[in-house]
Structure 1
Amino acid sequence: MELGPGWQEWGLAGLFLASFLAATLLPLGSEAVLAAMALAGWEPMGLFVAATLGNWAGGMSTYALGRWGSPERLAGRMPRSGGGLERWRGRAARWGPWLALFCWAPVVGDLIALLLGVFRVSWRPVALLMGLGKAARYAVVLWVVMPWR
């Protein structure tokens, strides 16, 4: 798999940036960048660290945005069917920081990070569990890709 022009020059910093942006509310796929760089011969541990730290930092920035927001402001943007914000409030109350393990998930992961902040779930366990979930995801991506190298 060949990386597009510029990625070779950006290197691990580019992977960090792609991973950071993918963990915000922007629809990006850092897994493709990670896989392409692994297949291009980049050292796996460096890739793992850059992707994990970038994605974790992006997820925590989304958490911080939620923390600065308010449930009332978000309520108008949530779907009303199925309970919307109240359903997520109940999940946050029941599962708390453990939900952060799923911040890696496509589509809902960024929303989970945002809502954990909105509902003021303690940042320390959120940071730890979010990091573990994101690290596990990138470890699986590398585990799948490396035999094809």
Structure 2
Amino acid sequence: MTEVWPYLALFSSAFIAATLFPASSEAVLVGLLASGTGQPIALVLVATAGNTLGAVVNWLCGRSLAHYRGRSWFPADGPQLARAERWFTRFGLPSLLFTWLPVVGDALTVIAGLLHVPLRWFVPLVALGKGARYVVLALATLGLWGG
């Protein structure tokens, strides 16, 4: 029977890494792959699922905080928020493919929630971008990409 703990650890780290908390799911994935723990395809799928679900939490935060705009404690002031909204509007839904990027990616997921981007578009685009990152990382770790 396959041990479940590596998958749970990876899912948890990927979930946390996608939220606004600092974590590195990439290091966990690379460690598991390098040690031969778990099935590579399953590990990539678990990491993608955890990271995507964490991004949905950010989206929910953005969605639920939207009506608090303008309050003194709101994390972004008017000009910052307007700039972020203009940027997101300019690049549109395809920008969600880049939610895997450090710092910017988390902000994109919150902004998507603030702007009420429908989950039917959000989830597949975020999962595709995050999944592609994990696939490339797995292939490189296993020596199947780039030399």
TM-score by length of 2: 0.85
Question: Residues 97 and 122 of structure 1 are in contact (CA less than 8 Å); yes or no, is this contact kept in structure 2?
Answer: no
Provide the residue aligned with 1:23 in structure 2: 18
Distance 2:137 2:35 in 1: 15
- Name 1:116's counterpart in structure 2: 112
Matched, 1:102 2:98: yes
1:78 equivalent in structure 2:
76
C-alpha contact 1:101 1:129 (8 A) present in aligned 2: yes
Pairwise CA distance, 1:23:
0.2
The Cα shift of 1:122 comes to: 2.0
Partner of 1:138: 134
Higher helix content, 1 or 2: 1
Q: Closer, same or farther in 2 for the Cα pair 1:90/1:74, shift >3 Å?
A: farther
Q: Would you say the 8 A contact 1:22–1:58 is kept in 2? A: yes
Where does residue 41 of structure 1 map in the other structure? 36
Letter of the structure 2 residue corresponding to residue 77 of structure 1: P
**Contact (CA 8 Å) 1:103, 1:130: kept in 2 or not?**
yes
The 2-side partners of 1:31 and 1:127 are apart by: 20
Do the aligned partners of 1:96 and 1:121 also contact (CA within 8 Å) in 2? no
Quote the offset at 1:107 in angstroms.
Answer: 1.2
**What are the Cα deviations for residues 60-87 of structure 1, in whole angstroms up to 9, with x where unaligned?**
111111111124359842377xx42111
Identity %: 35
2-side partners of 1:94 and 1:133: how far apart?
19
Alignment length (residue pairs): 139
Contact persistence 2:70–2:77 (CA under 8 A): no
Q: What stretches of structure 1 of length at least 5 have no aligned partner?
A: 1-7
Report the TM-score when normalising by structure 1: 0.84
Q: CA offset at residue 51 of structure 1?
A: 0.4
Amino acid at match of 1:35: V
Mark the runs of 5 or more structure 2 residues left unpaired by the alignment: none
